[in-house]
Amino acid sequence: LVRDEAVDCLSFVGGRYNGRNIADALSQEHKRYMLEMEGVNTYGIWDYSQWDTLADQLAKGYDYGKQRCTAYVRWVVQRNLFPEFLETYVKAIGSLKVGNPTLVDAAGDKLPDLAFGPVINATQAKSLDELFDNASQHGAIPFYQGKLDDSLFLPGQDRSAYRAPRALVGLPRQAELYFKEPFGPIDSVVLVDRVEELVGEMNISNGALVTALGSDDEKWATRTGKELRAFKVGINKLRSRGDREEVFGGLGESWKGAFVGGKLLVEAVTQGSPAQSVLGNYPDAVLLPEKA
């Protein structure tokens, strides 16, 4: 299909396996493409004390049940800060409500105020269970396992696609989740003792769409952020896709082809001057915008 002469350009969101195959096919045909693929988006914590701010970010990170490519799913935490991180995490995530997003008492009532509803389907929910169990079997320690509240569902409702937030610490490299984006409500925490470890763990997926670094020393964080392989780097804040005018893309294996957003999207799908470079992540070069 992608090689067909009727297809001049392709936009794709999905996994790396299919994305690589599509990129190979399209590059041979000299077609335009924008392929947004999975990557482990990480948030690093080092010399940090802004726990109230982090609590809000932790809760915000569960928007859509982490079913989006810019969800933060890996927290790389300085070891001696884990007690404060744990207290903040349990308090923030424990307040989230997960349930039926259409449950009301009467037709005119407002929809319930929930953090998120079901994952895409029961198959994905089962896949999340398998990732969590595999990590536990390889030595990761579950430190948070949320429960579904009966009052947020219809009596007897099928809950096979619903999962409450869960989190593990000490994720080993043997675990499938170590190198994989869960695409669902599971967080993992890796503890580190040195800055070199922090940077290495944050770059574990060889490229990501977004990443963030939390520290009371913003100058250090800004400098260290330049070592992180992500298209957008937040300092003490989450980054996201942004509005339609904001540029967006990814580094490494998280993105292939032209970057998008604002004028970049126009350039990506327009046949311009031969001398005009289309910014993007290509097999032979990475052409970056001035600022992401």
Residue 207: inside a domain, yes or no?
Answer: yes
- Considering the domain architecture, whether residues 144 and 259 belong to the same structural domain is answered as no
- Considering the domain architecture, whether residues 271 and 216 belong to the same structural domain is answered as no
Residue 19: inside a domain, yes or no?
Answer: yes
* φ, ψ at 22 (rounded to 5°): -65, -45
Q: Residue 13 has what pLDDT? A: 84
Q: Residue 241 has what pLDDT? A: 78
Residue 124: inside a domain, yes or no?
Answer: yes
- Considering the domain architecture, whether residues 64 and 200 belong to the same structural domain is answered as yes
Distance CA 219, CA 33 (A): 37
Domain with residue 196: its CATH number is 3.40.309.10
Domain span including residue 142: 42-235
Q: Domain end: 212, 235, 258, which one?
A: 235
Residue 4: inside a domain, yes or no?
Answer: no
Residue 3: inside a domain, yes or no?
Answer: no
- Considering the domain architecture, whether residues 128 and 258 belong to the same structural domain is answered as no
Written as tens digits, the pLDDT of the chain (292 aa) is 777 888 888 888 887 778 878 877 776 667 888 888 878 999 999 999 999 999 999 999 999 999 998 999 999 999 999 999 999 999 999 999 999 999 999 989 999 999 999 999 999 999 999 999 999 999 999 999 999 999 999 999 999 999 999 999 999 999 999 999 999 999 999 999 999 999 999 999 889 999 999 999 999 999 999 999 999 999 999 998 776 678 888 888 888 888 998 888 888 888 877 777 889 988 888 888 876 6
Render 183-216 in DSSP notation, one character per residue: -SSEEEEEEESSHHHHHHHHTTTS-EEEEEEE-S
Q: Domain end: 216, 235, 254, which one?
A: 235
127-176 per-position pLDDT tens digit: 999 999 999 999 999 999 999 999 999 999 999 999 999 999 999 999 99
Q: Residue 11 has what pLDDT? A: 87
Q: pTM here?
A: 0.90
Residue 292: inside a domain, yes or no?
Answer: no
Q: Residue 17 has what pLDDT? A: 75
- Considering the domain architecture, whether residues 158 and 265 belong to the same structural domain is answered as no
Render 211-268 in DSSP notation, one character per residue: EEEE-S-HHHHHHHHTTS-EEEEEESS------TTS-B--SGGGEEEE-BSTHHHHHH
| Number of domains making up the chain | 2
